[in-house]
Structure 1
């Protein structure tokens, strides 16, 4: 058994690699930061191959997809966000984010899916965000990019169902997660939200375990955390105008010193 994970150098991707390795899967860990992958390789007990790759490079993505025939589980996780009001954020940073979150994700998804369909087996997990369900003032381009991941997954899932395919595809939509977001992006998930309860902010390990469990059970939309699942239900009740105001209030609380910040996987 073998799994390939993009964005495996930190956060959810890194912990999914740990969970799958503990289940006996050999791992192909993919990310830009090779030194972080080296650390992961030393930690895991199963066979680990590391690949330094930028998913915005189409040629590199096509080369990586040549490995699809040997992969049982594909975790399509690479991505980052640019935080700040739309007119103040850096355009080049946003375009890089769109290339990573949509362009690179789309290329790998299509190429791996084609190979999986040929043999009529395999699991694909696209990593989106709870943001995919909501309008996102102060984080607009990121929210929109994750909505793309959610919708493309839903569309493909129905195509596979109609074809009676044995290939399974899921999308992970976590809420706030204790990862490098706070350190790298300088966004605080503590204080205000943690007062509400532990179910608001989950560890990346908890999210990874839940995601893998639900992936193998065939759950299509995976939302870790009871409160986050309630939030998704509220999305269908409250008008977008009210949701936009609520998201603006929450995001404005997170703006500390810098207006534009990046989250790197």
Structure 2
């Protein structure tokens, strides 16, 4: 059994890799930081292959999959991603385009290629790491929220197609709220709400994936939020989200 995990050098991806190794999966670990991947590989009890790549580059993303598709993969975890804080008119266009390439384009490519192979083989699991942000409009992190909405809705749609086809292939979207990872530093924010541990989020993600769940929302507070959003118009949700986003930056 083999699994590919992108963004495996830290945070949720690293913890998911540990859990998959504990279940007996040999791992293909991908991220930009090779040294961190090798440190993780040395800790794990199963065989690990390290591939340093920047999947924001479409060519590297496609080469990654070509390099591993012969490994008889059973699980693909699309975890690589990042955020950016600031008003849309003032944030860096170049950084936003790199975010779209990482959070959307790479996820789309790897999901499509994996689903095609898994469907033909008659088995396999794809876990796409979205966010609770995917349920909401996100002023002050507009592009990030939009990318996670794409990941969530894409995953839900693919799941329904597979269900109607009677396919045993399972796809799942992980939608955590704040998590104690390096995300804050990269995005330039600090959460106003307490975050869950990456270990807990990973446990719920892996458990939900293998249980065949379509969407996993870790934590009671985030589950309540996803339900409550149905009772408020988007314009109100945008205002509430702005309030919490503003507090992230000390506002």
* Fold match (TM-score > 0.5): yes
Deviation at 1:57, TM superposition (A): 2.1
Is contact 2:137-2:237 (8 Å) kept? Answer: yes
Distance 1:62 1:106 in 2: 11
Relative to structure 2, which stretch is displaced further, 205-214 or 53-62? 53-62
- Relative distance call for 1:183 and 1:93 in structure 2 (3 A) is closer
Task: Report the counterpart of residue 2 of structure 1 in structure 2.
Answer: 2
Task: Report the counterpart of residue 137 of structure 1 in structure 2.
Answer: 139
3-state DSSP of counterpart to 2:218: coil
How high is the TM-score relative to the length of structure 2? Answer: 0.96
Distance 2:39 2:91 in 1: 33
3-state DSSP of counterpart to 1:82: coil
Residue in structure 1 matching 2:108, options 106, 109, 120:
106
Is it true that 1:161 corresponds to 2:163 in the alignment? yes
Deviation at 1:24, TM superposition (A): 1.2
Matches within 5 A, 1:239-258: 239-256=233-250
Task: Report the counterpart of residue 53 of structure 1 in structure 2.
Answer: 53
Task: Report the counterpart of residue 28 of structure 1 in structure 2.
Answer: 28
Task: Report the counterpart of residue 148 of structure 1 in structure 2.
Answer: 150
3-state DSSP of counterpart to 1:121: coil
Distance 1:185 1:155 in 2: 28
Matches within 5 A, 1:184-203: 184-189=186-191, 192-194=192-194, 201-203=195-197
Q: Deviation above 3 Å: which 4+ runs of structure 1?
A: 182-186
Task: Report the counterpart of residue 16 of structure 1 in structure 2.
Answer: 16
Task: Report the counterpart of residue 84 of structure 1 in structure 2.
Answer: 86
3-state DSSP of counterpart to 2:3: strand
3-state DSSP of counterpart to 1:236: helix
What do the CA deviations read for 1:168-223 (whole angstroms, capped 9, x no partner)?
0000000000001234444222xx424xxxxxx21001000110001000000110
Q: Which runs of 5+ in 2 are unaligned?
A: none
Q: Give the structure with the larger helix fraction.
A: 2
Deviation at 1:61, TM superposition (A): 2.0
Is contact 2:82-2:183 (8 Å) kept? Answer: no
Matches within 5 A, 1:212-227: 212-227=206-221
3-state DSSP of counterpart to 2:200: helix
3-state DSSP of counterpart to 1:73: strand
Deviation at 1:238, TM superposition (A): 1.0
Number of equivalences: 249
How high is the TM-score relative to the length of structure 1? Answer: 0.91
